[in-house]
Structure 1
Amino acid sequence: MKKLSRYLEKCIYIVSFIVIFWIMFLLLFFSNTLKYACKKEFVFSNLVIFNVFLIILLMYFIIKNKFRIKICNLNLDKIVKICSIVFFFIQLYISYNIFFETGWDSGGAIVPAARTLLNNGNVAPLNDSYFSLYPNNLFLVNIYYLILKINKSVGIFYGENQLMAIVVFNCAISSITCWLIYLIGKQIKGNKYAFIGYVLSLALIGISPWMVVCYSDSFVLFVPITILYVYTNKKIPCVLKYTIIYVMGYLGYCIKPQAIIVVVGIVIVDFITFLRKNDRKALLKGFLGVVISVVLIILLSKGLNILYQREGFETNSDKTFGLSHFFMMGLNPERLGVWSGEDVDISLGCKNQDERVKKNIEVSKERLKKFGGYGYLKFLSKKMLTNYNDGTFAWGEEGGFYFIQVDDRNEQISMRLKATYYNDGAHFWLYSLGAQFVWIITLTLVTVATITSLFIHKRRDSQYLIIILSILGITLFELLFEARARYLYLYIPVFVLAAIYGISDIDIYVFGRKKDEKANIIYSDTLL
């Protein structure tokens, strides 16, 4: 059993190394030459950014050894709490000044449905046109409806500012997520490494304009990281822990299916742990948590379905787009794996679910046959670049993105912020380059962690295995199905946590820091 657990761990390390190396190789050497969907142009290439990061590390190494500078101990816990609160208000200020209503799914169906419920209107016209196709978004509609209803009762945002009520929640979620990254990083590698991860998260999430968009990507951001926090928190009793994890995973799945990936990672790692320790008591507690979770999930599912029906949502399951549709769309050679109107028409042309699955598989087989082995690998590489070569996470790439724009709140401030965050703004290159720079650094550190995991460490902790499995899961999901960089957004916290392992490994194996065996965590005064 122990040998099997070691073998499975080794397989995870090998696969993660191959996948992450594939990503970095494409980003550094093929991002400018390959044609792929939603391609953004940056002022500097990824290779230049990578080399600049190496130079920064080299300079740090020289300064550290020459001057032996030690930074005094800071109360990082207090600093992070204060920064999280301050950044919440900074996010609100930015959002208020760049606010707009977007189109696509958000402005085309979800927000209108929430507003219709708020005004006691008839949602029936949206049933066949959208929610029969994508019924999973009904839960998000009700969340937005509840927020707008509270806002209406309190009386804060009206008229063109109504959706700012949702944006406030997005900003709070963003700040809490960054704070949770620090707390988990502190548990796994110590507060100083966690603080560096916190800074990375502020750059990728804290000042990201995605907080102003009312859609699942920004709203579900806290789910994977909260699940990881619950998992790593030793104070929570085992049964309660797994109940929270599974129920929260289900609710996250109802908002955005990709959120469930972290729960799958936990199940796999717990299975490996059981093989190694053969702890039957822990297995029994975990099983009890599963039983309770299943009962609660069934009750929640039935309760939500009753709620939807009372509101007037009568979806037709024969029209629902399943995984076979998204797999087919992920193989579209003309659209290079992103959303395709042609494929939507193909699925809409089928009378029922069985016919749709059959047609989707038929088209998918034809496309795979035309690709061939090498052609499919090249196609997947293009999808990988679509997913990973954008530190803005496909900001502005959806149809009708800036659907309804409002007048400038403050002529000087709003104009400058819009020029920085809007794709056609004069200074957008500055934001996009900064975001790309931090994203490449984060992926580089993730690469370091995968290299040391395979070639140096005998075994990582269970948290790392869950983190890397989550990264593998979301990568595989986007390779097989519809590609889009924004689908990675909810897993930015997981990438940052993996980067924290990379920071720690650099400090040990490059800068010569040593592990404190008593604390079983790595401390360092050097990186700060």
Structure 2
Amino acid sequence: MRDTIDMGLARLGVYLTYTVYAIYSVIAVMILFLVSFGYSSLENPYGLRPKYALPMPVFFVVALLFVVLLTYALLKYSCKGGNSYCYVLPLLSVAVLVFQNAVIRYTPYVANWDPDTIFNYAVAAVRGGDLGAFQPYFDMFPNNYGLAVLMQFLVRVSFVLKLDPAMFTASVGALGVNLGCLILALGIGSAIGKACIVYASWIIATILGSLSFWIGTPYTDTFLFPFVATVISLYLIYRNSAAPITYIVLVVMVFSAFVGSLFKPTVLVLVVALVIDCILRYARREGVLKDILCIFLSILVSATLIYGVASPLLKKHLHVNPNPEMAFSYHHYLMMGANPQSYGAFNLNDVKISAGIPDKTDRQAKDLDVALRRLQAMNADSAIHFYAVKLVTTYGDGTFGIGHEGKGFPEVPSERNLPNSLKKLYYMENNTPSVFGSLQQLLWMILLLCAALLLPRKNTDDYAVFLRLSFIGLTCFLMLFETRARYLYSFLPIFVVIFAVSLDRIVLQMNAVLVKRGIVLSGGMGDE
């Protein structure tokens, strides 16, 4: 009887795993197709993306050629490894950090939205200024308490060190992104063990993450980035380690995600993906029950420490006293995510709707009612068009919304001695991204292409199931609630690891086909 139950559970686990494969493939291919061939026709009227100098199909073709050439190079030249990246990448990261600080110094982002509000609050709080003007903001957005307290601390440190507080806070955020890219590369190395793929992954992560114009804006995006990178990297280490290290890694992984949720709760999608992945592995009899118990215990302890202890302490260190009755809940973001005018992007009218209702219960009921009415008003055609535009708005911009967030892109600062090289590198002309912005778009298309080409393994005990679940969860979350290209910036590590795993598997499959036909281009790529 027990054997029959075990066999049934194993079959169910395999079936559900292949269902994850199918759902992931449909979403990834659909995103790639819409971004590549529907970009111009699926325009968001709020203009939350730039006009690229080249048509999107051209970016797709170039990305495809790049992947083909890279695959050929990896097949022709042995890429078995060596761990030189363990020594080289930290040195390169230091060089990148120096350049990051030059970018922060010479290309200030005049952000007349949330980052500016929180930073000005932190400066006023440290200096003992009047904080009354900031009260309404923290009433509405309790999700930024953690960032506000962190900025208070960083501003205080900058005053002690006699440094510019804006540059110092931005530099700390940039350092976190830099470390995140390094941690990510080392995690990829532990899972794949091929130096060339590790280097390629680090270069892409650095160009899209560490050298992004967003590093000049101290906000949740840069501060969350290293936590996402840590969670993803620890998962790769977890799948390549044995007890008791396994349990230590799981605990740190879950705790890192909960700490990151103080900046943005979306990161908890990774915890959900981890739970589902471990349950599927156990159902397939490829995992152990102890792992699941360890994860649930870690969730319980982490949630208690973060939301029961740390969150109240952070609120005590906030120098304003927010009114919980005015706090925007998930109902507000659900309403905004269904807005047919802005296609789920930020909408000021929706903010006015929520802010205009002082009672918390009434506001949540109103927000939910508006959201449901908007969804019910869509027929099949309008719903397909709505979510197609929303997908392209979210996934269509490799610069992650630079110049199309908040109050818009800043003027080239005239009061600073801005080097022409940096001006040409980062600033747009006539709404057309710079050469660097176009490079970012090309690399982003390569990531989307490799995501669509992620091949399953014959052995269902596949660590890429977690990556697929994370991708699915993140996409569903952003399609359900408010979205924008910038929201993907913090989750770049997911796409970079998918790129590395996908490229590795493409090379392995191609190598197997060539060997079967008696064609050997290199010493072989080895096995996973």
**Shared topology, TM-score over 0.5?**
yes
Q: Which residue of 1 aligns with 2:184?
A: 181
C-alpha distance in 1 between matches for 2:73 and 2:391: 37
Matching of residues 57-456 of structure 1 within 5 Å: 57-58=67-68, 75-107=84-116, 109-127=117-135, 129-157=136-164, 162-192=165-195, 193-233=197-237, 234=241, 237-277=245-285, 279-301=288-310, 304-309=311-316, 311-401=318-408, 407=414, 409-411=416-418, 413=419, 415-424=420-429, 428-449=433-454, 452-453=455-456
Deviation at 1:426, TM superposition (A): 9.5
Determine if the alignment matches structure 1 residue 510 to structure 2 residue 502.
no
Q: Identity of aligned pairs, percent? A: 22
C-alpha distance in 2 between matches for 1:241 and 1:270: 14
C-alpha distance in 2 between matches for 1:501 and 1:341: 40
Deviation at 1:305, TM superposition (A): 2.2
Deviation at 1:85, TM superposition (A): 1.4
Q: Which runs of 5+ in 1 are unaligned?
A: 516-521
Q: Closer, same or farther in 2 for the Cα pair 1:427/1:97, shift >3 Å?
A: farther
C-alpha distance in 2 between matches for 1:58 and 1:41: 27
- The amino acid across from 1:422 in the alignment is Y
Q: Closer, same or farther in 2 for the Cα pair 1:18/1:423, shift >3 Å?
A: same
Q: Is the contact between residue 223 and residue 248 of structure 1 (CA under 8 Å) also seen in structure 2?
A: yes
Q: Closer, same or farther in 2 for the Cα pair 1:287/1:371, shift >3 Å?
A: closer
Q: Which residue of 1 aligns with 2:6?
A: none
Q: Is the contact between residue 225 and residue 489 of structure 2 (CA under 8 Å) also seen in structure 1?
A: yes
Q: Is the contact between residue 50 and residue 432 of structure 2 (CA under 8 Å) also seen in structure 1?
A: no
User: Which range moved further: 71-80 or 502-511?
Assistant: 71-80
Q: Is the contact between residue 224 and residue 260 of structure 2 (CA under 8 Å) also seen in structure 1?
A: yes
Q: Which residue of 1 aligns with 2:56?
A: 46
Q: Which residue of 2 aligns with 1:18?
A: 26
Q: Is the contact between residue 181 and residue 205 of structure 2 (CA under 8 Å) also seen in structure 1?
A: yes
CA deviations 1:383-411 (Å, max 9, x no partner) are 00000110100011123345697555435
Q: Closer, same or farther in 2 for the Cα pair 1:59/1:201, shift >3 Å?
A: closer
C-alpha distance in 1 between matches for 2:216 and 2:171: 9
Deviation at 1:6, TM superposition (A): 1.2
C-alpha distance in 1 between matches for 2:218 and 2:101: 14
Question: Partner of 2:90: helix, strand, or coil?
Answer: helix
Q: Closer, same or farther in 2 for the Cα pair 1:524/1:352, shift >3 Å?
A: farther
- The amino acid across from 2:128 in the alignment is N
Question: Partner of 1:482: helix, strand, or coil?
Answer: coil
Q: Is the contact between residue 227 and residue 248 of structure 1 (CA under 8 Å) also seen in structure 2?
A: yes
User: Which range moved further: 292-301 or 9-18?
Assistant: 292-301
- The amino acid across from 1:289 in the alignment is S
C-alpha distance in 1 between matches for 2:317 and 2:72: 67
C-alpha distance in 1 between matches for 2:148 and 2:290: 41
Deviation at 1:187, TM superposition (A): 1.8
C-alpha distance in 2 between matches for 1:327 and 1:245: 28
- The amino acid across from 1:53 in the alignment is A
Q: Is the contact between residue 51 and residue 433 of structure 2 (CA under 8 Å) also seen in structure 1?
A: no
C-alpha distance in 1 between matches for 2:346 and 2:219: 17
Q: Is the contact between residue 81 and residue 193 of structure 2 (CA under 8 Å) also seen in structure 1?
A: no
- The amino acid across from 2:363 in the alignment is R
Q: Which residue of 2 aligns with 1:518?
A: none
Q: Closer, same or farther in 2 for the Cα pair 1:343/1:69, shift >3 Å?
A: closer
C-alpha distance in 2 between matches for 1:523 and 1:120: 67
TM-score by length of 1: 0.87
Deviation at 1:288, TM superposition (A): 4.0
Q: Is the contact between residue 85 and residue 198 of structure 2 (CA under 8 Å) also seen in structure 1?
A: no
CA deviations 1:224-278 (Å, max 9, x no partner) are 1112233333377455434323332222111112122111111111222232337
Deviation at 1:348, TM superposition (A): 1.7
C-alpha distance in 1 between matches for 2:291 and 2:389: 44
TM-score by length of 2: 0.87
